[in-house]
């Protein structure tokens, strides 16, 4: 009985983490715009970007790209952390399922005797 309750709690935790990840994470379009922000902005106003790029020092232009890379890396790190949590929860779920199977085996063995 305790394992059944534990499994239900674990399922709810996993579902909650998945829902949080789905609703808190950016949509696919948002992710594309974050990862390709330099290309999307240059497509919309090529003439303005060329003018600004000529006036900006190269170090500033690199800094903008670096910030985009940092944002992308932060998103990737967050994604990896969530995946690690999901894997940990899956391991716990499997161990609970194994414990449940062991309990069922023991029950059946005692019942046969």
Question: pLDDT digit string (tens) for 47-106?
Answer: 444 444 555 555 555 555 566 788 888 899 999 999 999 999 999 999 999 999 999 999
CA 10 to CA 90: how far, in whole Å?
9
Q: State if pTM tops 0.75.
A: no
Band of pLDDT at residue 111, cut at 50, 70 and 90: confident
Contact status, residue 65 vs residue 109, Cβ threshold 8 Å: no
Q: What burial class does residue 30 get, using C-beta atoms within 10 Å of its C-beta: 0-12 exposed, 13-18 middle, 19+ buried?
A: exposed
On the question of pLDDT at 9 being above 80, the answer is no
- Measured between alpha carbons, how far is 102 from 75 in angstroms, rounded to an integer? 40
Would you call 98 exposed, middle or buried from its count of C-beta atoms within 10 A (0-12, 13-18, 19+)?
exposed
* pLDDT value of position 24: 61
Confidence of residue 35 (pLDDT cuts 50, 70, 90): low
- For residue 36, what is the DSSP state? T
Question: Average pLDDT in the 13-40 region?
Answer: 60
């Amino acid at each position: 009985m305790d394992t059944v309750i534990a499994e239900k709690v674990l399922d709810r935790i996993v579902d909650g983490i998945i829902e949080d990840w789905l609703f808190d994470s950016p949509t696919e379009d948002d992710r594309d715009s974050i990862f390709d922000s330099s290309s999307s902005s240059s497509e919309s106003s090529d003439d303005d970007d060329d003018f600004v790029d000529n006036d900006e020092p190269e170090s500033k232009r690199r800094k903008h790209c670096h910030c985009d890379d940092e944002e992308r890396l932060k998103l990737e790190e967050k994604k990896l952390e969530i995946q690690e949590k999901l894997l940990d929860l899956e391991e716990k779920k499997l161990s609970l399922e194994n414990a449940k199977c062991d309990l069922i085996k023991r029950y059946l063995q005692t019942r046969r005797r």
